[in-house]
Amino acid sequence: MSSLKWWESAVIYQIYPRSFNDSNSDGIGDLQGITERLDYISGLGVDAIWISPFFKSPQKDFGYDVSDYCDINPDYGSLDDFDALIAKAHNLGLKVMIDIVPAHCSDQHPWFEESRQSRDNPKADWFHWVDPNDDGTVPTNWLSFFGGAAWSWEPRRQQYYLHNFLSSQPNLNHANDEVRTALTDVARFWFDRGVDGFRLDAVHTINGDIPPYKNNLAKDDFVLGVLPQQQQPFFRQLHDTGQLNQPNIQKFSEAFREVADSYDGDKFLMGELHGDDPVLASRTFTQEGRLHATYNFNLLEWAGLDVNGLKEAISSAIDAFNGTGRLTFAFSNHDVPRSGTRQLDALGLDISQQEAMQLLLLKLEISLIGSTCIYQGEELALSDVRDIPLHKMQDPWGIEFAPTFLGRDTCRTPMVWRADQPNGGFSNANETWLPVAEAHLSRAGLDEAEKDASVYNQMAAFLKWRKSQPAMMSANQMSALSGDDSQIIFDRISDTQTLRCCFDFKTLTASFEEI
């Protein structure tokens, strides 16, 4: 039926490996644990999996601080375990995407360990090293997303280095052609092992400009307050004026696309990005010869969105990309509170309506143009976990700002599989890396897969039906949104079918009619 490439309509299941399934009883999820649960994922009817980082790493930011891009962190297994995972996934008809972190690495990566030693070693300019201002202060007003300045002092070089996140995550210098070559070699390494695509982490934070760097400008109407994120000092600045979305980034996206296009099988590049003007940034990154699609943040609002907010978020993206597959929508991921909780508050619903609401949100995002990312546990309507004791928190962002802000641990607690097993079937260990949520046990994955009326099985039935609808599978075209304050209505359109899609947030039901 479909005239689209697989990724233009894909439903992608995101796995946070540390919290998915533990096969060796150490309290930490691993690659073999993922392999053990691939039948569960396949049973949903999704098209692909995306696995968050599992590379060698000191785990200060749980894999987003890479110390070796071409090997597996021992917590997660080995390259042989990965090869077994990808073989089983492909046998089940699942594509495999992995998470590449191109903007920064760990300060324990050999590249940085060499670079920081002196100003004249072979890796001396693989990172952003800048002399202090005449008064000794940092080179620019740039701030770190995790708090404080985006510059740290290295006494051996007598220079500052740039980090947009933790000080242990130095930014690579993409003005250096050797850095770009090293990263395209990483892409080839994983493509050669059979990977079908990459989710490219925070590509808007790649820095490829050369000194003198420009200061960020300030927002006129910004008000400081307690977190969530939009009210911390980082968001007081307009970043695209200096720090982020620099034009030189596109040399990286073009180089990665060239590598992807050299392989058979429609390899997929999905970039996670944001900006002062997200639509403009997405258009720039998906121009011909660059990334295939961008991971859209519009539905990931930390506090959730009411129906009119959902309409506005969807419309702003659709207006720019209608007729293309260059968008990937998501309601949840490993960085924001679970939609099963935050959307209850935003939509004025109560806890008894959580499952019906979650299923409605899943059907809505899957019915939009482009691809969709489902975060592990959404198919179970899992709630956000906000009672983690402070001494058991792991997320460096949450630890920095607790107790007024709990960070990302709330959406990263271990998956549960069987209510009657230790740790909900996640692990046989005495203690898991984050506590297992007692509230999740009533919706354990394998238990729910055996219940006909569960969110899991209703979602699976919807995905099976969707695959038979030309309007959703053979074209990425949809009408403008309509409906009253409790409805979202639009048509999906192909040459052979027009399908009216209605999502009612009073009755929490979806209906579809061929017109």
The catalytic residues are: 201, 272
For the chain, give the number of residues: 515
- Angle, helices 278-285 vs 307-321, to 10°: value is 30
| Residues of the chain below pLDDT 70 | 1-2, 226-231
Within a domain: residue 383? yes
Q: Residue written as tokens 């990965």?
A: 82
Give the residue from 260, 327, 271 showing the smallest Cα distance to 298.
327
Provide the terminal-to-terminal Cα distance of the chain, rounded to the nearest Å.
Answer: 19
Closest CA to 186 of 87, 100, 116, 273: 100
Helix axes 177-192, 249-261, angle to 10 degrees: 30
* CATH number of the domain within which 439 lies: 3.20.20.80
> Does some domain include residue 455?
yes
Domain hosting residue 77, numbered range: 6-104+176-209+245-389+408-469
pLDDT at 241: 87
Average pLDDT of the residues of the chain:
96
pLDDT of residue 230: 57
Which residue in this structure is represented by tokens 């594509």? 95
* Pairwise CA distance, residues 480 & 8, whole Å: 20
Three-state SS for 189?
helix
The answer to whether the peptide bond before residue 212 is cis (omega within 30 degrees of 0) is: yes
One-letter identity of residue 378: E
- Rounded distance between C-alpha atoms, residue 451 and residue 419, angstroms: 14
pTM of this prediction? 0.97
Cα 499 to chain center, whole Å? 30
State the amino acid at position 106 in one-letter form.
S
Write down the residue that tokens 């050797």 correspond to.
178
Query: Is residue 168 assigned to a domain?
Result: no
pLDDT (0 to 100) of residue 147: 86
Q: Is residue 297 part of a domain?
A: yes
Helix (H, G, I), strand (E, B) or coil at 39: helix
Contact 223, 125 (CB under 8 A): no
What pLDDT, on a 0 to 100 scale, did the predictor assign at position 221? 81
- The answer to whether residue 510 is domain-embedded is no
pLDDT attached to residue 266:
95
Residue 52 belongs to some domain of the structure: yes
CB-based contacts of 480, cutoff 8 Å, min separation 6: 315, 318, 490
| Domain count along the chain | 1
Confidence (pLDDT) at 371: 98
Q: How far apart are CA 161 and CA 170, in angstroms?
A: 7
How many whole angstroms separate alpha carbon 88 and alpha carbon 81?
11
pLDDT at 400: 86
User: What is the pLDDT, as a whole number, of residue 23?
Assistant: 98
- Residue 150 inside a domain? The answer is no
The pLDDT value recorded for residue 402 is 85
Q: Is residue 374 part of a domain?
A: yes
